[in-house]
Amino acid sequence: MAERLLIRDADVVVTMNAEREEILQGSVLIEGDAILKVGTAAAIDLWITEDPLIRQPHRTINASGCVVLPGLVNCHHHLYQTLTRAIGTGRGYALFDWLKMLYPVWAEMNPEAIHVSTQVGLAELILSGATTVADHLYLFPNGSRLDDEIVAAQAMGVRFHPTRGSMSLGQSQGGLPPDRVVQCEKDILEDSQRVIETFHDPAPRSMLRIGLAPCSPFSVTGDLMRESARLARTYEKVGLHTHLAETLDEERFCLEKFGKRPLDYAESVEWVGPDVWFAHMVHPSDADIDRMAHQCSGVCHCASSNMILASGIAPVRKMVDRGVRVGLGVDGSASNDGNHLLGEARQAMLLQRVGWPGFESSADRFSAREALELATLGGARVLGRDDIGSLETGKAADVVAFRVDDFGHAGALGDRVAALLTCAPGTVWLSVINGRVVVDNHQLIGVDLPNLIKKHNLISHGMLRRAGIL
C-alpha cells in the first residue's frame, strides 16, 4: 500500500492551478508519488473521515505558519561550478574573459569532483525550495562522465534533468575554449546516445530525463548542433538545451562567423520548437521574441548571472506577454555565486521593475506572484512537463513549505505569498519530492553537510592549486 502524507492547515496553499487558486488554511494529501487531494483543511479532513480505511494518512505534518507551494523548478545550472565560486566575478569580468580564466581550472576536474560538487549544489538548491533541477555539464576531463552527476543526484533524491553538454570548437578552430577541454564530435554523439539509452525515462512523474546540450555557438560547430538535434528527436521527450543570445559579444561572434544573429543561427541548425529551451536570451529582437512564441521554444531567465557578468537585462516581461515559455535558472554557481532558487525568483521580480533602454522603471511591471509562477509552472513548461509545477490531483508529489511566522517575515501579514519574495528569501522548512520528505524543519535528511563541504573544499583547493590560481 502506498504511503499517505497529509500536509495540513497551512496559512496559504498556492496551487498554481488553472485558476491560480490560493487556499487559506489549506491542506495537501499525498499518496505515494502523486498528489491525491488539495483543499481547505476542513474539506480534506471531512473527505478523509468519509472513508478512513482508504484515506487515512500515515503521517501528518502541521504546516501552520507556512506558505505551501509546488516545488520550484530550476531550468539551467552548472553544478560543477560550486568548485570555483568567486573567481573573477568580484573583479568584474565579463563572460568571455571569465570563461577563458576558468577553463584551465575546470580542466582539472575528475569524476569525484563532479560527484561531490553535484551534491553540494543540489543540497543548496533543495534547501532553497527546488525540487526539479536541470543541469548543463559540458566538460568531461580526466575520465569524467555525465553518469557521475546522475548517481550523485539520485542519492540526493531530486527530480533531475541532466543534459549531456559538449564543446567541440577549440581555439585552433576559431572557438573560445582551449583545445584541451573539447571533444571530437563522433565521441560526443556516441556518448550522447549511450547516456539517453542508459538513463532517460520519459514516463509520467519520471525522476530522470536526459537532454542534449551543445554548449554555445562559440564552442561547438553547426554540424554538432544539427546532429545533436536529430539524435534527440529519435527518442521520446529528450530535450535540447543551449546558451543563446547571452551577450553582445556572442552576437558579434555569430555575425562574424555565421553571418547570422544567434536565433537565426539556431534556426539554421534545426534548433527551434517545443523540445528546445535557451539559457539567458538576454538580447532578442522583437522579431526573435515573436518567432520563439510561434515556434514554442522556451527560455530560461538567469537574472543574477546576467547581472554579475554584466550581460544585460532579458526582456522577460515582453517575452511572457507574447507567449514565450519562460522559466528560471540559478545558472552556474561561479556566476551567481549561489544556488538559491527562491532568491532567483526575487531577483527576477526586481530586475524587471528596473528601467533599461526602451523601458522606464515601473514598480508594477512584474509582481511577486508572476515571479513565483516562473519558478514553478513556468519552469515545468520550459522542461516540457505537465506533471509538475502545480498542486493538483494526479500531479507529482513535489511540495515545499516556507515559514512566514519567523523573524524574517515578522509583520508580513498583509500578503504572506508576496512576502516570500519581498522579504529576504528564506530556506525551505519542508520539502517533499516524489512523495518523500527530503527536508524537515529546515534540515536536509540523510546528508552530512559538514563533511560534504569539507570534502568539496579539499577538491576545490587542489584544482585551484594545480591550475595556478592559488
1 pLDDT above the threshold of 70:
no
pLDDT single digits (tens) 395-431: 999 999 999 999 999 999 999 999 999 999 999 999 9
Q: pTM value?
A: 0.97
Is residue 167 packed enough to be buried (19+ CB in 10 Å), middle (13-18) or exposed (0-12)?
Answer: buried
Instruction: Share the mean pLDDT of the chain.
Output: 96
Segments making up each domain of the chain, as ranges: 4-70+388-442, 72-382
Give the mean model confidence (pLDDT) for residues 162-173.
Answer: 96
Give Cα separations from 393 to 28, 56, 176, 294, 400 (angstroms): 9, 17, 48, 31, 16
What is the pLDDT confidence band of residue 117, given thresholds at 50, 70 and 90?
very high
What is the pLDDT confidence band of residue 334, given thresholds at 50, 70 and 90?
confident
| CA dist., res. 338 & res. 123, Å (int) | 11
Inter-residue contact 401 to 27 (CB < 8 Å): no
pLDDT single digits (tens) 230-240: 999 999 999 99
Cβ neighbours of residue 139 under 8 Å, at least 6 residues apart?
80, 106, 107, 109, 165, 167, 181
Residue 395 has a pLDDT of 98
Angle between helices 111-127 and 146-156 (to 10 degrees): 40
* End-to-end Cα separation, the chain, in angstroms: 55
Q: Domain 72-382 class?
A: alpha beta
Residue 90 has a pLDDT of 86
| CA dist., res. 353 & res. 330, Å (int) | 19
| CA dist., res. 381 & res. 402, Å (int) | 23
135 pLDDT above the threshold of 80:
yes
Residue range 4-70+388-442, CATH number = 2.30.40.10
Position with higher pLDDT, 338 vs 433: 433
Residue 470 has a pLDDT of 87
